[in-house]
Structure 1
Amino acid sequence: MSDSAKRSILAGLRWTSLRLRLLIVFALVALTAAVSASGIAYWLNREAVLTRTQDTALGDFRRQMQNRAASLPLEPTADDLREAAEQMASSGPGYHVLLIGARDGKPVTGTSDLDSFTKADVPVSLQKQVNKKQPLTSANAFEYHLFWQRTTLGGTPYLVAGTKIIGGGPAGYMLKSLDQEREDLSSLAWSLGIATALALLGSALLAQAAATTVLRPVQRLGDAARKLGEGKLDTRLVVSGTDELADLSHTFNKAASSLEKKVADMSAREESSRRFVADMSHELRTPLTAITAVAEVLEDEADSLDPMIAPAVHLVVSETRRLNDLVENLMEVTRFDAGTARLVLDTVDVADQVTACIDARAWLDAVDLDAERGIMVRLDPRRLDVILANLIGNALKHGGSPVRVSVRTDEDELVIEVRDHGPGIPEEVLPHVFDRFYKASASRPRSEGSGLGLSIAVENAHIHGGDITASNLPDGEGAVFVLRLPRDAEGLTGTPGSDDPDRNEKGDAK
């Protein structure tokens, strides 16, 4: 999967996650509001319904006790109590009545419905309150009061109330079913639940609309930022409205314009610098060629010159060659920066190539080669020679003999390791070994190398689609450079042919 596809998927996930968070927040707010409103509405309606039913039944029961039970004789018979209870129940709002009196010192009861209401249905605590004589005070003018409570019998809610006639009359109890009120409240609860669900659904739709309204410009901003990150510096947002998102879009456009201008200026300066280096290097080649020719003639005649002049001649020859190498390296770097470097591929035996590189530089005595013949690869032989010359030369110069070069294959990759026996590379230097003009020691600014050799080597590896890594061996046994190249770089070639044939063949070791 490509990086752009992965970024698109991750961006979609982030966008969906933000939308999901908005939906959840809206849903929670709506759910909290709906549940709170429904709970309050249910509680208020419940209290209103139960209070209305309770007040109606208790008021009627009090009147019935005053009108009918109070007219009974002091020692009523069971028939008197039953008849009075039936009359009270028949004229009341749907409740049963139980009357309890005393005759000849024995309790006598009468009920409107023996199967529906007996003394056993009256809570003991309520009986105690009803039969307890209250002390008469200025605030209490009656010995007995009406008491009530809600209870459940056989799974059905009831209202039970009781009082006693003052002056020795019977005690009366009523039993009012609240089943109808429970059904009404259940219907109300279902209605409120449906209303809550509809409110939740409505909030989800509103959240979807709000999320779309909010996230669409955010998504456009994210897409524009990704395009800007991909190098499309002319990306701009359409600014509409005067809200915070419009201000953000305006700020993005200003930042993109500023970035585009700065990048254009930097590119122009970089292009000018590259052109200057390329032109300067090219212009230096002609006088350098002449100076090199003269220096070689002087070198041939150095032995016949005055002994006081000979060292100066050798110094001129050495510095001329160093300057020539530097110019060639600068031209090579310029080609890489300008993107004009091209591969000229050929199928070669790696062992033969490495041997030829070592032999051409008279390194056979200082290098141990571990390479089997027959490892055939398709790459640019000249660029491979540049890479090997820089890696091996660097190991010989800054590491220690013997330098070991091993060649192997790893699936579709060619792996070449160059290992020395020196002190290794300081840890603070490792991240910079492939930087241009980087030298590990400030005390040797005029070392033989220009500081471009390893950078040219890694650029040649990159143009093949490979890479070079540097590390230290354990226990301070030296440093190792690992070159990895594809065994077939056919798909990486540009325009057929090579750039300047007189280009640097050796580079220099860092």
Structure 2
Amino acid sequence: MAVIAAGVAAWTAAALAGNALVESTEERLVETTAATIAASAPQIGLPPDQPQLDLMRRLVGPHTLVTFDGRSSAGGEISALVSIGLRAAVTDRQRLMTERVVHHGVPWLVIGTPVMVTTVDGSRSPSGVEVYTAVDLAGVDREVGASMRSAAVVSMISLPVAVVLALLTASSVLRPLRRLGETTRRLAAGDLEARSQPTGDDEIGDLTTSVNEMADAVQRMQADARRFAADVSHELRTPLSTLTAVMEVLRDSAAQTDSEGRESAELAVAETSRLVRLVEDLMEVSRFDAGSAELRREDVDVVEAVRRTLDARGLLDAVRIVAPHRLRARIDRRRVDVIVANLVGNALRHGGTDVEVTLSHRDGVISLEVADRGPGLPADVLPHIFDRFFKADAARARSTGSGLGLALARENARLHGGDIAAGNRTGGGARFVLTLPQDPEDG
């Protein structure tokens, strides 16, 4: 905008200066010509004869035409410069008229005026004599051209200065805004450590301080929430272990009671088991939050590890496995077991029984894809599928899942240096892809 403004200002100023120069020159020439004609008029008689017409022409100037009653006296190029329209205008209106024309590339100002006579009573009337004279405007055009060239030079000099000033001004305003925008994006992505350094005491500095204070408050609340979850889960672990043992005894005893008592005991045992799993998931989450989660890597045949995971949960016959004969990697067997169990269990619960697990490797990276042929993942669910306690269907609030399974699966994958991506298959159904480095020591 500064560059455009500077350029427009320079050219506008030059154009205005050029127009002003032309107009002032025309006014001066008109006044001079009118005065010359007025001074020459008394030297001819009325009606004038041809020598008197020639005399007036010489008195007025070289490019002049003097007419009276069909007779005329012309000099220079005036005959080619006076248009029929100008003659008609002067004759009809009986006053001074001007016209700009270009002849052979040269600009001219043509002035036409009737010669007026003053009677004894002071009234003025046309004498029938008309005078047309032309003035060469080439010099004026040269001055206008010089003015435009000066404007171009000024623009060339001022534009770099304007650019530098604009960049300095914009950077002083936009740089803090860019930093603040980057900080807010990092905060929105979950990086609560992101901060911006306030610069100055203006509104941007106040906004930066407010964003930093907001981030501090959110970070404190998150830390309090995590500490609360960790403390509660830790405190619940011992009584829940005792309660689980009691529930096992109750379930064994319930086999001897009536059906109603047996159903109540089985329900109590199931809910206790669900509560124990939730507490275990919360404790695992707290370990990730505290940064105390550790890997115990060992050389593992991943294909065999996946089979054992599914077999231990009675899922081996419900899943189709597509994999090479062997696929070795250095992984934490227990944590990969958690990932696979969560992904396959989630696919069977929400995608139907047609679930396929595909294992492959390329360029030192192992890929494990779990795909189903169910309804797939809605577009509004995909961005939140790995959020803690997120459940796609609010009606499943009492389902066996805690809403932490996929979140923990991703945390375990990232602890390995890998990740999990979620999406939909082209032919329908959900698709989760786990990637793990095959040998992190070599990478």
TM-score by structure 2 length?
0.71
- Give a deviation string over 1:162-215, Cα, whole Å, max 9, x none: 98xxxxxxx999896734xx3432343234324544664576477457636743
2:135 is aligned with what amino acid? L
Map of 1:222 onto structure 2: 177
Compute the displacement of 1:371 (Å). 1.1
Q: Distance in 1 between matches of 2:273 and 2:83?
A: 121
Q: Report the 3-state secondary structure (helix = DSSP H, G, I; strand = E; otherwise coil) of the residue aligned with 2:195.
A: coil
Report the more deviating stretch, 30-39 or 416-425.
416-425
Q: Distance in 1 between matches of 2:232 and 2:442?
A: 30
CA RMSD of aligned residues (A): 4.9
Please tell me whether residue 58 in structure 1 is matched to residue 37 in structure 2: yes
Please tell me whether residue 35 in structure 1 is matched to residue 15 in structure 2: yes
Q: Report the 3-state secondary structure (helix = DSSP H, G, I; strand = E; otherwise coil) of the residue aligned with 1:406.
A: strand
Report the more deviating stretch, 56-65 or 376-385.
56-65
1:95 is aligned with what amino acid? P
Residue segments in structure 1 that go unaligned for 5+ positions in a row: 1-20, 102-106, 135-144, 164-170, 240-248, 494-510
Report the more deviating stretch, 342-351 or 293-302.
293-302
Compute the displacement of 1:329 (Å). 0.8
- Structure 1 residues 57 and 121: alpha-carbon distance in aligned structure 2, compared to 1, 3 A threshold: farther
Contact 1:415 1:483 in 2 (8 A): yes
Please tell me whether residue 25 in structure 1 is matched to residue 11 in structure 2: no
Alignment of 1:111-510 (within 5 A): 157=108, 178-179=135-136, 182-197=137-152, 200=155, 204=159, 207-208=162-163, 211=166, 214-226=169-181, 228-229=183-184, 230=186, 232-233=194-195, 235-239=197-201, 249=202, 251-296=203-248, 305=256, 314-409=266-361, 413-420=365-372, 433-439=385-391, 445-463=397-415, 464-471=417-424, 474=427, 479-488=429-438, 490=440
Contact 1:392 1:418 in 2 (8 A): yes
- Structure 1 residues 60 and 489: alpha-carbon distance in aligned structure 2, compared to 1, 3 A threshold: farther
Q: Distance in 2 between matches of 1:443 and 1:149?
A: 90
Map of 2:120 onto structure 1: none
Which of the two has higher C-alpha Rg?
Answer: 1
Q: Report the 3-state secondary structure (helix = DSSP H, G, I; strand = E; otherwise coil) of the residue aligned with 1:275.
A: helix
- Give a deviation string over 1:320-354, Cα, whole Å, max 9, x none: 43332222111112223334334444443332221
Q: Distance in 1 between matches of 2:442 and 2:225?
A: 27
Compute the displacement of 1:312 (Å). 5.6
Task: Answer 1 or 2: higher relative contact order, Cα 8 Å, separation at least 6.
Answer: 1
Map of 2:119 onto structure 1: none
Contact 2:328 2:438 in 1 (8 A): no
Contact 2:177 2:204 in 1 (8 A): no
Q: Report the 3-state secondary structure (helix = DSSP H, G, I; strand = E; otherwise coil) of the residue aligned with 2:27.
A: helix
Identity across the alignment (%)? 30
Compute the displacement of 1:462 (Å). 3.8
2:360 is aligned with what amino acid? R
Compute the displacement of 1:24 (Å). 0.6
Compute the displacement of 1:408 (Å). 3.0
Q: Distance in 1 between matches of 2:43 and 2:156?
A: 52
TM-score by structure 1 length?
0.64
Alignment of 1:57-96 (within 5 A): 57-59=36-38, 61-66=40-45, 92=59, 95=62
1:27 is aligned with what amino acid? G
Residue segments in structure 2 that go unaligned for 5+ positions in a row: 116-127, 187-192
Contact 1:399 1:424 in 2 (8 A): yes
Contact 2:251 2:269 in 1 (8 A): yes
Q: Distance in 2 between matches of 1:147 and 1:307?
A: 127
Q: Distance in 2 between matches of 1:424 and 1:147?
A: 89
Report the more deviating stretch, 23-32 or 406-415.
406-415
Alignment of 1:94-113 (within 5 A): 95=62
- Give a deviation string over 1:74-94, Cα, whole Å, max 9, x none: xx9xxxx6xx8998888x475
Q: Distance in 2 between matches of 1:423 and 1:29?
A: 64
Q: Distance in 1 between matches of 2:181 and 2:160?
A: 30
Map of 1:7 onto structure 2: none
Q: Distance in 2 between matches of 1:122 and 1:425?
A: 85
